[in-house]
Structure 1
């Protein structure tokens, strides 16, 4: 099944992009577990953990539009290299603080801000670069393989991260993450992209407006972004902040949480394999339906159900994640002009990320006020309602893959 799809790896440009992303993502899979339990070991506070998680997202809200403009202006692989080096340095500093036993919450927050700034430049460039290294007819395969490597590294990384944190502590896991950022930058440096594919420097506000016009003119685009503004805030706040707390109190700690996350990552591998072969005509309809299962693990975590049951629910949700991601990215790359792609992606990311810091920051206090169970059920409800509402937009239900004829009335 994978033979024809893997043939894209024979292309040097895509292979270097693939390797650079794979190495960095493997290390990054350690980071959520390592950082979460570093904070819990330091203060034991869900609110402190929420602040640290939020600190990584706030700069993305502030700088993501700037990152999109520079990713359209400059060679996108150069933007990615510099971003990797900065993020790796921030993670290395956190690792040193944790390993030497002198870490304080304000230091972790400040360094997560630095990493967040780097991410705000990296992601628009990473999304915009794919059509530059593969042909239009291979976009879905390329997106699926990039998603599949993200899933595969998550399986290995989260499982190994949970074991490593439980065995020798979170500092070494964070140090490993830093090293993989640096190695990933080495692979990306090998890419050779034509400067003709970059945009000449113009007026900053004009470039910003061009990206906004490309974003607001498509109802399917802004509608799904609004959906994910609420879905991401609810899901990240509940899962990333309250999940480790429930695991620590009820499920056995870091090792159990690592197994649950790994089960979700296995689901993303299955979803990625499906995305390699399944080519629906209505990309956005299938993408949206793939989001509904995200609510399942939140509901089971609220009881909490046994770790095995939560892991199975995380697996089902994991299958949906790459299906949404691959179909969404392919639709974006087919529908948006190449010279605007990073800027339009930056508006996508801004809208999708805008409430994540709030969701992460308030998850702990809300759970203290109304209870962990009620907070998790509320988050699951937001995921389902927001997803069903976006189906009211006609283009979400009917937009067809480019190159296919529109159905006759």
Structure 2
């Protein structure tokens, strides 16, 4: 659990208290929680595999077809901006309705919409707008699914096991990132992008079927007797984040990292094709090294995460390391050095994101988590397209190498500003 200080310990006059630790959704001695978590993670893994196949194949398809930073920018905008808008509503829905049913409904709708789009492309309509439409549909319903998933995890996992389960989940996701590029390359090379859409439909339905087997404890809100008000819930979420500076700073740090690391990571395939060659194996290897780094970070958190006393220090240190390594990516002239540095960035990003998510899950009250993670989803969804709006067109004018150096230096400078700002240090000191 997060060790919270009393107000007198860390608060200056006029400051707001840190959020109290969230109550556990399930007891650790409940024999059913491991079974529920295993079924849940299995279903999410199968569904995630299909999503990753689409992600990699679309990125490669557009890169090889156009070699345009602007096209990649549009794919990110269509793939993430709808999620940012819908997350405003998705977070409130996750606090007002059955989170499991929201996940099931979103996954099912994505499967139906993806099937329709695949059939449309199969009929001969294969313009870029069809791909953009597919990304937009998936992103829209991800805005419903993502905050519900993040908020449901503390309901089925004991509080003392959250960081371990998050680490295991991140390791599984990273393992899928090792498998997905190879599988995506095989399907794409032997069939086409339509075949990948069909595979995604099948994996989504498997994930839905397994989630139906998971028992989720009923969430009882502290304001259960109050008349339901959607916009009242939304306003309460805004007030909560505004009044808790520790949560606000943590989300700001996450946003800046996504802004300065997320988009440049999407441009690394462009750098590979321009600088090191267009062979598919090089694009695949690039993804494998990044995924291996994320896998290593997830495994580290699963093994040693519960023993880390000061996780906010880990968040800050990982951000600093990511900035330095990203600068190194832009300076590297060797393909294999480039791959190894990508592995390092993947590791540090996972250490930061897993720690940050665990802190929020342990700290934010259960009945507020849907709204808070809805805003986290907005941060993640807006940061990437915004970053690509800047970096994508620049990649058509300047070398990707120079953009990576700029991104790394800016992230390193931001960490220095955070460490130098007394208000930031005071706020973050409430989290460990």
Pair in the same fold by TM > 0.5: yes
The 3 A distance-change label for structure 1 pair 321 and 111 is: same
Measure how far apart 1:211 and its partner are.
1.1
Distance in 2 (alpha carbons) for counterparts of 1:93 and 1:244 = 29
What RMSD over aligned residues (CA atoms) do the two structures have, in Å?
2.7
The match for 2:339 among 288, 311, 317 is 311
Which residue is 1:71 aligned to? Answer: 94
Which residue is 2:251 aligned to? Answer: 225
Which residue is 1:387 aligned to? Answer: 415
Q: Give 3-state SS (helix, strand or coil) of 1:353's partner.
A: helix
1:125 aligns with 2:156: no
Distance in 1 (alpha carbons) for counterparts of 2:386 and 2:33 = 43
Distance in 2 (alpha carbons) for counterparts of 1:301 and 1:320 = 14
Measure how far apart 1:293 and its partner are.
3.2
Distance in 2 (alpha carbons) for counterparts of 1:195 and 1:10 = 14
The 3 A distance-change label for structure 1 pair 60 and 109 is: same
Distance in 1 (alpha carbons) for counterparts of 2:412 and 2:193 = 34
Q: Give 3-state SS (helix, strand or coil) of 1:354's partner.
A: helix
The 3 A distance-change label for structure 1 pair 164 and 141 is: same
| 8 Å CA contact retained: 2:270, 2:400 | no
Which residue is 2:322 aligned to? Answer: 294
Which residue is 2:210 aligned to? Answer: 187
Scaled by the length of structure 2, the TM-score of the pair is 0.83
Measure how far apart 1:164 and its partner are.
4.2
Which residue is 1:244 aligned to? Answer: 269
The 3 A distance-change label for structure 1 pair 193 and 9 is: closer
Larger radius of gyration: 2
Q: Deviations over 1:18-50 (max 9, x none)?
A: 111111122222233200122234444321221
Q: Give 3-state SS (helix, strand or coil) of 2:308's partner.
A: coil
Measure how far apart 1:296 and its partner are.
5.3
Aligned length: 395
Measure how far apart 1:169 and its partner are.
4.2
1:341 aligns with 2:372: no
Q: Deviations over 1:263-313 (max 9, x none)?
A: 121122221221123221211111221123334564354356333212211
Which residue is 1:46 aligned to? Answer: 69
Distance in 2 (alpha carbons) for counterparts of 1:94 and 1:58 = 19
Distance in 2 (alpha carbons) for counterparts of 1:370 and 1:44 = 14
Q: How does 1:155-166 map to 2 (within 5 A)?
A: 155-166=178-189
Q: Give 3-state SS (helix, strand or coil) of 2:309's partner.
A: coil
Which residue is 1:360 aligned to? Answer: 388
Which residue is 2:23 aligned to? Answer: none
Which residue is 1:399 aligned to? Answer: 430
Distance in 2 (alpha carbons) for counterparts of 1:116 and 1:258 = 24
Measure how far apart 1:115 and its partner are.
0.9
Report 1 or 2 for greater relative contact order, CA contacts < 8 Å, sequence distance ≥ 6. 2
> Which range is displaced more, 296-305 or 53-62?
296-305
Scaled by the length of structure 1, the TM-score of the pair is 0.87
Distance in 2 (alpha carbons) for counterparts of 1:303 and 1:167 = 36
Measure how far apart 1:99 and its partner are.
5.6
Measure how far apart 1:52 and its partner are.
1.4
Which residue is 2:235 aligned to? Answer: 209
> Which range is displaced more, 368-377 or 93-102?
93-102
1:143 aligns with 2:159: no
The 3 A distance-change label for structure 1 pair 10 and 125 is: closer
| 8 Å CA contact retained: 2:52, 2:180 | yes
Measure how far apart 1:244 and its partner are.
2.2
> Which range is displaced more, 161-170 or 355-364?
161-170
Distance in 2 (alpha carbons) for counterparts of 1:57 and 1:43 = 20
| 8 Å CA contact retained: 2:70, 2:396 | no
5+ residue gaps, structure 2: 1-27
Q: Deviations over 1:165-185 (max 9, x none)?
A: 345444433432332222111
The match for 2:405 among 370, 374, 377 is 377
1:258 aligns with 2:310: no
Q: Give 3-state SS (helix, strand or coil) of 2:397's partner.
A: helix
The 3 A distance-change label for structure 1 pair 398 and 382 is: same
